[in-house]
Amino acid sequence: MTHILTIHSSARRNDSVSRKLTDELVEVLARKHANATVRTRDVADGLTFPSESWVSDRVLPAADRTEQQHATLAETDVLVEELTEADIIVVGAPTYNFGVPAALKAWIDHVAQPGRTFRYTEQGPEGLLAGKKIYVVNASGGVPLGSPADFVTPYLRHVFAFLGVTDVEFIAADQLAMAADDSVKRARDAIEKAAA
């Protein structure tokens, strides 16, 4: 059975291009993989930001945590479990001011956990999530994907590689402010190719 995890991060609900295209891609992938399960995490609903205690407590083994430390890390534990259980992750990542939304960055802070999703070795860091596939659905008003002003693509590619996932595909509806129809059509064509 294939487990698909959907991450929505757009602050917009009704008119979000990244949300619509992300949902379309997930629908296509769910049809492609018989008996797939789909879990959706809307990080725009709000995640806690790292605190001083969170930073220090997150490196403790679960068995060594106090009740308060378990409470501090409860949200992180759930998000890490969702990610590690997934075979395919579809991330809706609109471009906000040349980067990812704060809500998506908060999710990354939660799931990038030493000893759980990556570890340090004598040879350097090693990602622990190898074998997964990630699709990133990017929507932007004016920033072309892969341009010098695109900080979303290199950042997410680096983060996911750090966690061990190198099979990352970007589907872009970029430059929506200039040519929305053409941009969305290109993204939908890429979605159909993902189903092949």
Domain ranges of the chain: 3-195
Q: Residue 182's pLDDT is what? A: 85
- Annotated ligand binding at 159? The verdict is no
- What per-residue confidence (pLDDT) applies to 51? 87
16 is in an annotated binding site: yes
Q: Tell me the CATH number for domain 3-195.
A: 3.40.50.360
pLDDT string in tens for the chain (196-residue length)? 899 999 999 999 889 999 999 999 999 999 999 889 999 999 999 999 988 888 888 888 888 889 998 899 999 999 999 999 999 999 999 999 999 999 999 999 999 999 999 999 999 999 999 999 999 999 999 888 889 999 999 999 999 999 999 999 999 998 888 888 888 888 889 898 887 7
User: C-alpha angle 97/102/105, rounded to 5°?
Assistant: 115
The answer to the question of whether 9 is labelled as a binding residue is: no
pLDDT value of residue 61: 84
CA distance 119 to 133: 20
Q: What token pair was written down for 183?
A: 């941009």
- The pairing of strands 37-42 and 88-94 is unpaired
Alpha carbon distances (Å) from 157 to 32, 91, 123: 25, 12, 21
Residues 6+ apart with CB under 8 A from 32: 195
Beta-ladder partners of 124: 121
